[in-house]
Structure 1
């Protein structure tokens, strides 16, 4: 990965395409948005695999970011992220605690921030 300074932020050339990052969301993704997106999508991808291995694949998984708490006094750092998963499919509710445990344990992004950001994960099955 390589990022280069631009007038209003930084651009990065990645294998899938260019990425614009800026503190002003009029010019690109804000860094905290990318952090939160990484937590959400990594968790969702792991959850999808866990459900498939448990032979109850989801028809759809939607991830709603319910809350992002930042601490202004500490460089506006992200302190808490609440991810809410909305699942559709033939999913056994009784097995969901194990699904949630395995998702958290195997998501590299959640594990990377485990000692610095509280990640709350909830779900509902529709």
Structure 2
């Protein structure tokens, strides 16, 4: 990877494309957003693979992230809670969801890279046809 540092942005020359990174909103992707996106990208694709291996059919997967930052320590990220919503007709018990969450946490390289400096939690919900979480 190669990076060009400019006044208010960094341009990353990646294998798939260029990416503009900037702490200034509207100029590029914020570093904070990149960190969270890397966790979701790694964890989400791993979650998809695990569901396929377990033969859990689903219509859609959505993930959201919330974080707690510490403004007295350079706005450091201290905690990230990731919620995965699996839209599926298949039954997923609490025990199954906890096991899948554990597998994602244990095998996602990006999540493992930030632990224990950042506390990361992955919650998995199964969303029924009616749109209600299980």
Same fold, TM-score > 0.5, yes or no = yes
Return the offset for 1:122: 1.3
Partner of 1:97: 98
Any conservation in 2 of the 1:48–1:58 contact (CA below 8 Å)? Answer: no
Any conservation in 2 of the 1:48–1:57 contact (CA below 8 Å)? Answer: no
Aligned residues: 125
Measure, in 1, the Cα distance between the counterparts of 2:41 and 2:58: 15
Return the offset for 1:100: 0.9
Unaligned runs of 5+ in 2: 128-134
Alignment of 1:53-92 (within 5 A): 53-65=53-65, 67-92=66-91
Secondary structure of the residue aligned to 1:24 is: coil
Partner of 1:7: 7
- RMSD between aligned alpha carbons? 1.3
Which structure features the higher share of strand residues?
A: 1
Structure 1 runs (4+) deviating above 6 angstroms are none
Partner of 2:51: 51
Unaligned runs of 5+ in 1: none
